[in-house]
A and B are shown apart, each in its own frame.
Chain A
């Protein structure tokens, strides 16, 4: 492993300075569950690791009138152990409580999961179906990006050298909202998704029509995919298995999987159909409760 410096800035400005100084030879460190493994396996050689956990914004979890702000370095356990957050953002809780084991959940953050930009990331689809916005800071100032536009290729994001993720903001869900995330793995725990699907829907006041919906897919393309047609197909429909089956077909059309040791193209497309139906069914139950 290439020896690197350890920097621990205490403000966003200091972190930007530290990261900008080293350009692509530095990385921000949140939980370290991806980055430390990647430096050891030689995926990249770093001159500096910038621990952002002493920047207060990065470890703040704030639920307000407008919604939820998750500091980029907030570990998974803090998200799922917060009862109020768990009640409002169920799709997020599904993911935060199945990423790795307890040891990993003590450290790994949803922000880090997003920045790692793995096609199979469990944390990104739920952020998309909860309408998440990624707030980043860099030498050119701050900007905000919809989560579905954040990843551009496997392991690559929109972040420029010197720029880092500060927080992810999710609007407060309206009444009649439900969300869910599920993945298929051949084991019970501690595995990488063969396919993952996040879904959400919002019902009208009477509860008999879908007003808006989103379906997002993991591990069936180079980045997580927001399957627009699948979500849009539900708008105005009576929520139920017929509408969910159609959404599943459209989601499978949007999937661009490869065949590898985890599953082939047809198997993955079938998983998209099944998991879309199932996550929408769970999202509906949650919207009605």
Chain B
């Protein structure tokens, strides 16, 4: 059994955006804290830190989760995808990112990484998702400034 005293940091081996990482984390740290503070991936945002807002959404072994509600230690040996890994080559924007820009689907932007990761997971699984399905799928992501219509339109635009 893996054990570590609460005072002692543990070494987390996990793959983030296709790259293997070795991160030093406390046993009580969330995956969100590990990604932002140990891996420097600040695209993952902290909003409510209690699983309501979805700003910290990442993909864990292909399923979207609120990274604030995952312990970093749980990601041992698993695949994590953040907003930083969405653009195919780091130069060209993903169609969803481009559509969010063109449809002005953001104002302050703090919810945007979570929306992008969640929307990408939906379109990867269900490229033809209709509006109801998109709205249901994104119910776990809150935006407090743009309103949702522009975000939904952007996702629909990215569907082509």
Contact = CB atoms under 8 A, between A and B. Distances in A.
A7 B71 CA distance: 11
Contact of B69 (A1, A37, A41, A102): A37
B92 to A, nearest CB: 27
A190 interface: yes
Given A1-B28, A3-B7, A6-B73, A106 B139 contact: no
8 contacts: A7-B2, A31-B69, A40-B49, A102-B121, A102-B140, A103-B54, A103-B65, A104-B140
A283 B101 CA distance: 46
A264 B134 CA distance: 34
Contacts of B49: 40
B54 A6 contact: no
B57 interface: yes
Interface in A97-116: 100-104, 106-107
B74 A33 contact: no
A23 interface: no
Which among B50, B136, B137, B140 has the greatest number of chain A C-beta atoms within 10 A?
B140
Contact of B6 (A3, A107, A189): A3
Contacts of A190: 52, 139-140
B5 to A, nearest CB: 6
A107 B4 contact: no
Interface string A51-73: 10100000000000000000000
Interface in B66-85: 66, 68-71, 73-74
Contact of A5 (B3, B30, B52, B66): B3
B64 A10 contact: no
A106 B27 CA distance: 22
Interface residues of B, number: 37
A6 B70 contact: no
Interface residues of A, number: 36
Nearest to B27: A6
Given A3-B28, A7-B2, A101-B139, 17 more contacts: A4-B6, A4-B27, A6-B4, A6-B73, A7-B3, A10-B1, A29-B71, A48-B6, A51-B71, A101-B54, A101-B141, A102-B118, A102-B139, A103-B57, A103-B66, A103-B118, A104-B66
A7 B63 CA distance: 23
A237 to B, nearest CB: 37
Given A10-B1, A36-B69, A5 B137 contact: no
Contacts of A101: 54, 138-141
Contacts of A47: 6
B139 to A, nearest CB: 4
A188 B137 CA distance: 12
A103 B74 CA distance: 16
Contact of A8 (B1, B5, B68, B118): B1
